[in-house]
Amino acid sequence: MKRNKKANFSVIRRILSLALRHKGCFFPGMILVIGGTALSLLAPVLTGKAIDYALFGATDFAMIARYCVIIAACVAASGVAVWTGNILLSRLAFLTVRDVRAELFGKLLSVPLSVIERHSRGDLMTRMTTFGENLSDGLYQGIMQLSAGIVTLIMTIVCMYVMNWAVATLVVLLTPVSAFVSAAIAKRNRVTFARQSENMEKMSGLAEEQLSGTRILRAYGRVSASEKDFAEINSELFKSGLSSQFAGALVNPVSRIVNNIIYAIVAVVGGLFIVGTMHGGWATNIAAPLTLGGLSAFLAYANQFAKPFNDVTSVTAELQTAASAARRIFEITDAADEDKGGSLAVEHPVSGIEFDDVSFSYSDKPFMEHITFAAAQGEKIALVGTTGSGKTTIINLIMRFYDITGGRLVFDGRDIESYPREGVRRSFGMVLQDTWLFSGTVRENIAYGKPDATEEEIRLAARAARLDNFIGTLERGYDTVISGDGEELSEGQKQLIAIARVFLTSPEMLILDEATASVDAMTERTVQSAFADLLGGKTSFIVAHRLSTIRDSDLIVVMDKGHIIESGTHESLVAAGGFYTRMLKAAE
């Protein structure tokens, strides 16, 4: 428990350090809220003075009017100051969350892929959106209420002791009872807030996953099962959310009951002191006189003094929600960045790539071992094998999305670690089976790898990818806007846009991972013809299930369960009559 408290405090302190980046909002906002709260706390004592001038048959209307003007001025100035301070603190919260989101997004682009792959897209989106809102609300409410609460406590104590030290002591001794009640309930609420955040994360992840695969879900008749899974998580979220809100809502009425009891006690004791003040009675003798106006002020201050304690739970709840949200965000932002690699500049053309007894492990579990083959400049290397044999992992190692755990991966005669990751990646063009498009025009999607491309270059790339005829059928041609997931396009059309990107950048080396898997047979023949021109003289790595597309490869690497079991040309592998030959026969 102590460790959790320490962790919560550490997170909140970190949130405040982020907020302090915006001093222009933080300090003026704090000063205005504190000053406005202080002005509002002068009203009870001024009202008490006005009441005293209206009693005992000696009404002084001039003094009453003067106090009324002063009270009105204090209330108006307090309202303006607190309102302005709230605006600044609200701006502070949004600016801080803006910075956190920017840092989170930047971190997602810079961490190793293994960090991303540990989380669902829904989980990451929840951290970016919902948790960001929770952080904003907690930061705003926490700073505003805590600053107002502190000044309320200090000023009410000072004012009460100036008026009557005895009754003030009674209030100070009794009021913390409310705080103890609030703290006891809030203590039990921490776990439920954390559970609520976890369930929100699970629900977002499931919704993202199921909605993105809605076609498959319906095709396999899994709608009812999906609804059941969602209902279970939604039910857990309901329970944890209700539990959190119930505990939070319980404090206020309980605290109010305690405060009303304290209020009644102060009223009775204060009345006794008024009686004891008359005609120089016992209250005067102990230097604790009290007037009716003073009692009015005391009762107001008793309520004001209790207010920060009443707000403890709401502030605590907001801060706990903010801390829980921030902790989820910091889990990502604190992850180590992907190292930039070496400093040696990549020189072109690259002489070749060599795997020298390479091994690779996911965590501590070995996946690939003893991978040895070489691709000289301009050679076409095909990677074939069963699903999960390691073909795509080879590509990820070449692109340095993953790092080898043993052996040597040689790039242009040197260890690949000698070069910057970005320099290595820019040497390649990639066309993958799973295409990625973003919301924008067809032109912008084609020019993604070369934003400064001319119109003629974009059209030539589309023509080379056999895409121009399709674009000509669109109502706005290259200016047609497509959605991020390209739902209005067929898989083949999306694939052709990805292929056109590669034609436009014309990289030195190519990686084609099932590049024509979603293209129909007729389109595949035309695209393969275009690829023949594109591949000419370029080092290329091709992952293919359609073995007919890689017969002319300089080297075919056959993989199974993370090992190379055969390698050679098409002719030599067929002559060997091994695994590759069996794959050919199975494909017939």
How far apart CA 449 and CA 506 sit, in angstroms, is: 10
φ/ψ of 221, rounded to 5, equals 65, 40
Going by pLDDT thresholds of 50, 70 and 90, the confidence category of residue 204 is confident
Contacts of 517 (CB under 8 A, 6+ apart): 433, 495, 545, 546
CB 233 within 8 A of CB 204: no
Q: pLDDT tens-digit profile of 269-280? A: 888 888 787 767
Q: Give the residue from 297, 196, 302 showing the smallest Cα distance to 259.
A: 302
What is the Cα gyration radius of the chain?
36
Q: What is the DSSP string of 52-120?
A: HHTSTT---HHHHHHHHHHHHHHHHHHHHHHHHHHHHHHHHHHHHHHHHHHHHHHHHHHS-HHHHHTS-
Residue 1: is its pLDDT beyond 60?
no
Q: Which one has a higher pLDDT value, 197 or 148?
A: 148
- Pairing state of beta strands 481-482 and 440-441? antiparallel
Going by pLDDT thresholds of 50, 70 and 90, the confidence category of residue 189 is low
Q: pLDDT tens-digit profile of 402-423? A: 899 999 999 999 999 999 998 9
Contacts of 264 (CB under 8 A, 6+ apart): none
CB 282 within 8 A of CB 276: yes
Q: Give the residue from 452, 466, 453 showing the smallest Cα distance to 533.
A: 466
Predicted local distance difference test score (pLDDT) of residue 470: 86
Q: Which of 324-328, 370-374, 431-435, 519-523 bottoms out in mean pLDDT, i.e. has the lowest?
A: 519-523
Could you give the percent of the chain with pLDDT greater than 90? 17
- Quick count: other Cβ atoms within 10 Å of Cβ 357? 12
Q: pLDDT tens-digit profile of 332-344? A: 888 888 888 888 9
Give the tokens for residue 19.
């907020």
SS (H, E, C) 513-572: ECCCCCCCHHHHHHHHHHHHHHHCCCEEEEECCCHHHHCCCCEEEEEECCEEEEEECHHH
Contacts of 447 (CB under 8 A, 6+ apart): 453, 458, 501, 504
φ/ψ of 353, rounded to 5, equals -130, 135
How far apart CA 532 and CA 379 sit, in angstroms, is: 13
Q: What is the DSSP string of 392-438?
A: HHHHHHHTTSS--SEEEEEETTEEGGGSBHHHHHTTEEEEESS----
How far apart CA 44 and CA 30 sit, in angstroms, is: 23
Compute the average pLDDT of residues 532-541: 78
Q: Which range has the top average pLDDT, 184-198, 311-325, 334-348? A: 334-348
- Pairing state of beta strands 406-411 and 440-441? unpaired
CB 360 within 8 A of CB 393: yes
- Pairing state of beta strands 509-513 and 352-362? unpaired
Predicted local distance difference test score (pLDDT) of residue 520: 67
Compute the average pLDDT of residues 50-66: 77
Predicted local distance difference test score (pLDDT) of residue 525: 72
Q: pLDDT tens-digit profile of 464-508? A: 888 888 888 888 889 998 876 667 787 778 888 888 888 888 888
- Quick count: other Cβ atoms within 10 Å of Cβ 495? 27
- The Cβ-side half-sphere exposure at 528, using a 13 Å CA radius, reads 18
Q: What is the DSSP string of 371-389?
A: EEEEEETT-EEEEEESTTS
Compute the average pLDDT of residues 314-322: 70
How far apart CA 94 and CA 71 sit, in angstroms, is: 34
DSSP strand E in 218-276: where?
none
φ/ψ of 482, rounded to 5, equals -115, 150
Q: Give the residue from 76, 89, 98, 80 showing the smallest Cα distance to 28.
A: 89
Residue 306: is its pLDDT beyond 60?
yes
How far apart CA 319 and CA 316 sit, in angstroms, is: 5
Q: What is the DSSP string of 11-40?
A: HHHHHHHHHTT-HHHHHHHHHHHHHHHHHH
